[in-house]
Amino acid sequence: SESMEKQLADALKSVARRLDIKEYIDRDPVMNQLLKKAADRYVTGEQRQQALHTARELESAGYAVSLEYIGENTQSAEECEQAVQELSALIREAGVDRKGARVSFDLSHIGLLLDTELALRHLLELAQQAEPVGIELFISMEESAKTDRILSVYTRAVRQYPDNIGITLQAQLHRTPEDAVAQLPAGARVRIVKGAYQEPESISMPRSEALDTRYVELVEYVLQQGCRVSVATHDEALIDRMLEILQTAGADRYAEYELLYGIRPELSRRLLDRGQPVRIYLTYGHEWYLYLCHRIAEYPPNLFQAVIDILSE
Ligand code: FAD
């Protein structure tokens, strides 16, 4: 029955990865509304104000926040410019009363696919606005075909803004331990994730005990380098391991737990109740369907959750 479970999981994964929700929502307003109900669990709304409102509620409950304006793989210079303007407004408004908040984005949302130099220029422009208002910028990690370009933009920008730009590393990629050694300056801000993209096994590791071990080793390594680390996972067993290791090493001052809005909220609450620093990753934007697809593809049972959310009052 274990093999049946695996087969079912694989089948669900391939369904999830083939979903092209945009096609349905463009064609059919009813479908649009229904799918939006499924997305509501994970996305605060289409507007910046909705994300900032949820951020305020979470902050008054004791959480820190990350904010993302959803978008990726932007194909034209105008759309990149529009994304940069929205991110600027987000930085400005979040910075008014929210020192320490984080704004996260994909470099492919601000120009990486068009020209690496354009993405770098946009990143530096945003960093120049973020630094004086105490907002930290965090670069997400995308598919492996972009890893070199993302790291090269990061390493060039972080030289100018060492305290304001952070990077996400995916434990699943075989290259990541070497990247951590070669690319991170001392004291870097790093988010460690397992990895959301399906990559060939020649370059990546599936979910497994070995991946969890690599995850732990990466966190330990970056802490030894004096980095500040966000342990970004919803894996409770892994979090329990991290809690123990970090407390024993006295390194818990440099680490925080970061979880996605709408995913395992009871786990974030438990961490907060234990006095741990917890950051919630909030998203907003018109491209909410992209975000919904990612959450379903990384955890196929969310397909059922989506159906339940759609059918519920
Ligand atoms: P898994 O082993 O996948 O899951 C462990 C358990 O967590 C599951 O059994 C389930 O109970 C729960 N769970 C996990 N995912 C879900 C879900 N979607 N819905 C409901 N329950 C779930 N990935 C990237 O590739 N690049 C990034 O830049 C990136 N940024 C991220 C930022 C943050 C703050 C977080 C939390 C994740 C980010 N991810 C990113 C996604 C990450 O790589 C994983 O795909 C995602 O976190 C699921 O893996 P997991 O570590 O939670 O553990």
CA distances from 68 to 72, 76, 244, 260, 283 (A): 11, 20, 30, 11, 5
Same domain, 275 and 299: no
Same domain, 167 and 249: yes
Same domain, 28 and 71: no
The CA 196 to ligand 1 mean position distance, Å, reads 7
| Pocket lining: 22 vs ligand 1, CB cutoff 6 Å | no
| Pocket lining: 141 vs ligand 1, CB cutoff 6 Å | yes
Whether 16 has a pLDDT exceeding 60, the answer reads no
| Pocket lining: 176 vs ligand 1, CB cutoff 6 Å | no
Total domains present in the chain = 2
CA distances from 147 to 70, 106, 139, 194 (A): 19, 11, 11, 15
Whether 17 has a pLDDT exceeding 60, the answer reads no
Whether 313 has a pLDDT exceeding 80, the answer reads no
Structural domain span for residue 127? 44-284
Displacement of CA 223 from its chain's centroid (Å): 20
Q: Whole-prediction pTM value? A: 0.92
Same domain, 250 and 299: no
State mean pLDDT over 287-301. 83
Lookup result for tokens 């902050």: 59
Query: Which residue's alpha carbon is nearest to atom 12 within ligand 1?
Result: 234
Binding-site residues from annotation for FAD: 141, 170, 194-196, 233-234
222-269 pLDDT tens trace: 999 999 999 999 999 999 999 998 888 777 778 999 999 999 999 999
Q: What is the mean pLDDT of the chain?
A: 90
Query: Which residue's alpha carbon is nearest to atom 17 within ligand 1?
Result: 299
Residue 247, pLDDT score = 84
Q: Which atom of ligand 1 is nearest to the CA of 140?
A: 28
Query: Which residue's alpha carbon is nearest to atom 45 within ligand 1?
Result: 196
Same domain, 25 and 91: no
Binding-site residues from annotation: 141, 170, 194-196, 233-234
Residue among 193, 257, 259, 303 whose CB has most ligand 1 atoms within 8 A, to mutate:
193
- Kindly report the CA angle at 107 between 102 and 108, in degrees rounded to 5? 135
State mean pLDDT over 72-99. 92
Same domain, 133 and 235: yes
State mean pLDDT over 188-214. 95
% residues pLDDT > 70 (the chain): 92
Same domain, 228 and 279: yes
Whether 93 has a pLDDT exceeding 60, the answer reads yes
Pair 44, 82: CB distance under 8 Å: no
Residue 2, pLDDT score = 62
Same domain, 133 and 279: yes
Query: Which residue's alpha carbon is nearest to atom 1 within ligand 1?
Result: 235
Closest CA to 276 of 291, 259, 264: 259
State mean pLDDT over 294-307. 82
302 burial via Cβ count (<10 Å: 0-12, 13-18, 19+): buried
**CATH number where 249 lies:** 3.20.20.220
| Pocket lining: 235 vs ligand 1, CB cutoff 6 Å | yes
Confidence tier at 115 by pLDDT (50, 70, 90)? very high
Same domain, 98 and 129: yes
Same domain, 218 and 233: yes
Residue 311, pLDDT score = 81
Whether 285 has a pLDDT exceeding 80, the answer reads yes
Same domain, 219 and 201: yes
| Pocket lining: 42 vs ligand 1, CB cutoff 6 Å | no
